[in-house]
């Protein structure tokens, strides 16, 4: 587990203008990503600080950074950086914090390595070899189960197995990339045969993304007590879902075209070290629920393996945009509602001998709160489209319409710590081709 050190000091201040009090990227965060600067020169690694990006390639050239971790973090893809693990990553974080803190002797040289984030282009932070989406939000699983199986919403395996499916890595895109409405087979309940048409029940899913760091060999499993050492960082994930395509195709093998047309992630990788102040105990299971099997149970993970992260969904429709209105909040949930910890997900994924590799991406599955103010999808909030949501400008939504923009945000906050965020995870829906 990550521990607190000087980089978490709430009294720490930065000389970078706008960093202190920044809603996402104060000096206590320092997430990694890949960007292209406005003057060209191609993609390279950077660190978000306030409304700026520290160019790690430029910092290396200026002699401000040195070593394998800095070189890997400055590369056009962070896979090699992820592979190095926690100790080099932690050492680089400490050096970056010292460079950017108020009063640093490096201020003059480092200021020349800053770019305004608004002038830069953000890219995928790493090449995703494989993407697995889990289903660990128990309130979401129960709500969805009621839609498809009213009499038996949670199947018996749910409380024993961290359920997941292998998703499509090729269609994951960074925030700001539009998502095109998919086509597929739709079958109405009263129809004898399906038809091929654009999706009519397009939905979002509020998820936490987990970037894998050091991997494991094929045939060797990762013990749950060591699983956190294989996590490189976190992001937000919107696993777009075509609910009408899903309803027809998902049996007997699970999601296919309903999920493979696009997933959106926030482009900054928030490190486990940055999230250390926001770790909490895994909530106790309800009375009568089975204890995890021994290979999924670790005492330290149960004490510190969960997160207190506020998760928010907002919508901005074309009409709202035209009227100059701010995005409207649809949901406010929290990562504490995950039934399984990240370590349990990693341990189970590898328990049969599957090898994970640096840059693999795991999704938590939709994280819904217990009540309808925190549901992580429209399928839940609108009760399968039966109860539309009323928006402030008089519009309503059962599912997403063309031109709608969905925005996911995180707020990590607790007393005695500086709050941090992940940056927006946002995308706009385009009409079907």
Catalytic positions, please?
A: 140
User: Among the residues of 235-298, which ranges form H helices?
Assistant: 243-249
For CA atoms 252, 183, 242, 129, give the dihedral sign.
positive
The DSSP code sequence of 210-238 is EEE-S---TT-PPPGGGGGGGEEEEEEEE
SS (H, E, C) 372-385: HHHCCCHHHHCCCC
Tokens of 253: 């093998």
Residue 146, CA distances (Å) to 97, 151, 188, 308, 380 in order: 48, 7, 19, 27, 9
Separation of alpha carbons 307 and 252, rounded Å: 34
Q: How far apart are the first and last CA of the chain?
A: 46
CB distance 362 to 349 below 8 Å = yes
The label of the residue with tokens 């969905």 reads 406
> CA torsion, points 427, 132, 336, 205, in degrees to nearest 10?
30
Give the H or E element holding residue 80. helix 79-84
């Amino acid at each position: 587990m990550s521990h607190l050190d000087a980089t978490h000091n709430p009294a720490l201040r930065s000389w970078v203008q706008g960093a202190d009090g920044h809603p996402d990227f104060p000096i206590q965060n320092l997430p990694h990503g890949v960007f292209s600067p406005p003057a060209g020169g191609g993609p390279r690694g950077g660190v978000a600080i306030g409304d700026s990006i520290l160019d790690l390639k430029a910092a290396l050239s200026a002699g401000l950074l040195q070593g394998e971790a800095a070189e890997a973090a400055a590369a056009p893809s962070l896979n090699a950086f992820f592979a190095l693990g926690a100790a080099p990553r932690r050492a680089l974080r400490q050096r970056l914090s010292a460079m950017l803190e108020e009063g640093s002797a490096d201020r003059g040289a480092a200021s020349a390595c800053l770019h305004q984030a608004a002038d830069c282009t953000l890219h995928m932070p790493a090449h995703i070899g494989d993407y697995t989406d889990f289903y660990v939000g128990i309130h979401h699983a129960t709500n969805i189960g009621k839609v498809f199986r009213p009499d038996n919403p949670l199947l018996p395996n749910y409380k024993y197995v961290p359920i997941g499916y292998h998703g499509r890595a090729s269609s994951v895109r960074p925030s700001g990339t539009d998502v095109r409405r998919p086509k597929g087979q739709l079958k109405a309940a009263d129809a004898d045969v399906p038809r091929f048409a654009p999706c009519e029940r397009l939905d979002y899913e509020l998820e936490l993304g987990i970037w894998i760091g050091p991997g494991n060999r094929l045939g060797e499993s990762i013990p749950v007590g060591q699983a956190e050492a294989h996590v490189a960082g976190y992001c937000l994930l919107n696993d777009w879902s075509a609910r009408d395509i899903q309803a027809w195709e998902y049996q007997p093998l699970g999601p296919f075209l309903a999920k493979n047309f696009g997933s959106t992630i926030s482009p900054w990788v928030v490190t486990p070290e940055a999230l250390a102040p926001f770790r909490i105990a895994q909530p106790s299971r309800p009375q009568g629920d089975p204890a995890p099997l021994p290979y999924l149970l670790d005492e330290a993970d149960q004490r510190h393996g969960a997160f207190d992260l506020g998760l928010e969904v907002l919508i901005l429709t074309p009409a709202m945009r035209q009227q100059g209105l701010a995005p409207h909040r649809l949901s406010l949930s929290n990562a504490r509602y995950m039934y399984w910890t990240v370590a349990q997900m990693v341990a189970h994924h590898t328990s049969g001998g599957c090898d994970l590799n640096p840059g693999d991406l795991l999704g938590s599955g939709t994280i819904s709160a217990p009540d309808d103010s925190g549901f992580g999808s429209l399928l839940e909030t609108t009760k399968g489209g039966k109860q539309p949501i009323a928006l402030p400008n008089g519009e309503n939504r059962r599912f997403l319409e063309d031109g709608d923009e969905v925005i996911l945000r995180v707020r990590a906050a607790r007393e005695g710590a500086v709050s941090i965020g992940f940056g927006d995870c946002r995308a706009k829906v385009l009409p079907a081709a």
